[in-house]
Amino acid sequence: MTLAARIESFRKLAAEWLRGLYHGMISHPAYEKIETQAEDHEDAFMLACFPDAFGIPSPVSYYTAELLPFLEDEFEAWERRMWDRGSLLERKGHQYHF
C-alpha cells in the first residue's frame, strides 16, 4: 500500500467518524429538539381547538369539530402526550442533555 493510499483511507475514516460525531452531538439532538418544539406548538393548537375536552367552552368548537376527522393522528398523540406529562417543566427538561 502506498503512502498516498494510506492517507486516503485514513482521511475517509476520519471523515466518517467526524460526521458521526457531529450527527450524534449536534444535529441529532437538534432534530429531536425541533420535533418536540413542533409537538409543543401542536399541543397548544389542539388545546386552542378543543378546550371543551377540559370543560372550557370555546367560541369556535362548532367550527373546529369539522377538523376532527382530519386530526386523527394528532388527536391520539395529543392525548397520549397529555397523559404522560407530569408538568410542563418536566417535558422541557427532557429536551436538554445535561
Partner 1 sequence: MRKFVFFGGKGGVGKTTISSAYAVKCARAGIRTLLVSTDPAHSTRDVFDQTFTDDPSPVDGEKNLDAMEIDPETEVREHLMETKRAMGDQVSPAMVNEIDRQLEMAHQTPGAHESALFDRFIDVMRSSDDYDRVVFDTSPTGGTLRLLSLPVHLDGWIQRLLHKRKQSVKLFERAAIGNNEPRRMMDGDPIIARLEQRRDDFTFAKETLQADAAFFLVVNPDELSIRETKRAVEQLDSYGLDVRGLAVNRLTPEPDPDEEGRGATFLRNRVETERERLRELREDLSPPLVAAIETRVAEVKGDFLGEVADELDVEIELKIT
Q: Is 91 among the residues that bind partner 1 (CB under 8 A)?
A: no
Using CB under 8 A, pick the residue from 44, 82, 88, 93 that binds partner 1. 44
Using CB under 8 A, pick the residue from 76, 82, 85, 93 that binds partner 1. 76
| Minimum gap (Å) between residue 95 Cβ and partner 1 | 13
Using CB under 8 A, pick the residue from 1, 26, 72, 87 that binds partner 1. 72
C-alpha cell at 18: 467526524
Q: Is 49 among the residues that bind partner 1 (CB under 8 A)?
A: yes
From 5, 47, 32, select the one nearest 91 (Cα to Cα). Answer: 32
